[in-house]
Amino acid sequence: MERKAGVLMHVSSLPGKYGIGSLGKAAYEFVDFLAAAGLSLWQVLPLCPTSYGDSPYQSPSVFAGNPYFIDLDALIDAGLLCRGEVREYRLGSVDYAALYAERYDTLRIAFGRFIASPQAGYAEFKAKHGGVWLDDYALFMAIKEANGMRAWESWADEYKYRTADMNAFADAAEFYKFLQYEFYTQWQSLKAYANGRGVSIIGDMPIYVAYDSVDVWSNPRQFMLDADLSRKTVAGVPPDYFSATGQLWGNPLYDWEYMAERGYDWWIARMRNAFDMYDVVRIDHFRAFADYYSIPAGRDDACVGEWLAGPGKKFFDAVEAALGKKSIIAEDLGELHDCVRELVAAVGFPGMKVLQFAFDGNPHNEFLYTNYPENCVAYTGTHDNDTTRGWFDALDDNGKATVRRTIGYEGNAMAKTLVQRLFASNADTVIVPMQDLLNAPTSARMNIPSTTGGNWSWRSQDKWTAKAASIRKLVEKTKRI
């Protein structure tokens, strides 16, 4: 295995003047920074559209790209927009409410000019993706728009059950196909540029899908739903030392038996699309392929539920038979049953280690950098953790003393020190959130789990370019070029 290093930085966090990071100039400059720093991996969060709570892990489609990421300058250069038609923002946190209020109106102007004389690649794009996901997604969004963006379970029965004549929505659906064409075209250009500079892209795949999504609406048989398409059971995790009532996520669970009968065709299409977009895929909550927690729908918490067996290795055998051997990272964090560890070992995918979890005073803690196996991907923290500086600052005196004693360092430059220790570890791959390379405080945290409002909004102030030389020295010293 090659020793590699990379950065976790979502597209939304890139700098720029249009309110959110995009696939434009700053993204290419970020690739240049990674290449100059000797970093060969760029990990992003899910690139799908966001919905309630602005989370990329709750999306109306696991196939579609986020229209907010479309580079408006590219549309201006193509003559689809004029400068005066585009709102500019002061560089700061992402204001999703402001974007929602104006961005789609701006993109509709571009669509009006585009559709009068579509590019040659547009028909090819629709032919490639139409029957797989694009047609259903565009129709779903068109009907959703006509229903005031309400959840599909509240639609009139002829639309909820897909029995109506949908031709009336053809023109409205075309707008959403245009958005996906622009997103995918720009993303593939960026990915090709990154690959050409020696940078591979790690994508993130949530295990579950949102109930209010085209994925459930157009494929209800694949999920545990009642005859009225309401949820029978939902996903979550049981009570533990983090939460006395567990976590109630609310996502519909898969009907794994039915999926197996169909040869996992929906999942294979999803995985195929993911590997068209990314070089490596991290599967979030990987453990659900081994066993998953099933909660009866309608519960207010996760106290009542049961562990059920997932599809196991036969699922990944089917994926490999269809797609060939692919690079997958298994997010195997949390309290795991033996069946989860056995599945990770059987498929051979690298699991994850998070350094912030290492400091309980146990020298054998699996998250301590001195204990990492080669076949793992090690992080200082993830998108759900505080920044390393913020995490350390929030520890009490005893906690800080434990960290210092464990690593043999008495200073306060903890983010820098832990990054250095991570790079020097045995882990084949290390990934550091951009915030930790910038020594950013808690205000730069990406997400606080089980909360809404204020998450997913951090943006870089473009301070990373000056750090390329020092990072490259660390990469070279730890033989991760």
Q: Which of 135, 265, 384, 462 is catalytic?
A: 384
Tokens of 470: 């020092």
The two counts, helices (H) then strands (E), for the chain are 17, 12
Q: Does the CA dihedral 314-317-321-323 come out positive or negative?
A: positive
Burial class (CB in 10 A: 0-12, 13-18, 19+), 378: buried
Q: Is 136 a catalytic residue?
A: no
Q: Does the CA dihedral 457-461-462-464 come out positive or negative?
A: negative
Q: Is 384 a catalytic residue?
A: yes
Query: 225 and 231 in contact (C-beta within 8 Å)?
Result: yes
Give 210's DSSP letter: -
Question: What are residue 430's phi and psi, to 5 degrees?
Answer: -125, 140
In sequence order, the 6+-apart residues with CB closer than 8 A to the CB of 114 are 80, 178
- Determine the Cα–Cα distance for residues 220 and 325; give it in Å rounded to an integer: 29
Q: Which of 54, 284, 291, 386 is catalytic?
A: 284
Angle at which helices 96-116 and 170-196 pack, to 10 degrees?
100
Residue 429 bridge partners (DSSP): 4, 377
Q: Is 158 a catalytic residue?
A: no
Q: Is 204 helix (H, G, I), strand (E, B) or coil?
A: strand
Q: Which of 71, 136, 331, 386 is catalytic?
A: 331
CB atoms under 10 Å from CB of 122, counted, come to 16
Q: Which residues are catalytic?
A: 284, 331, 384
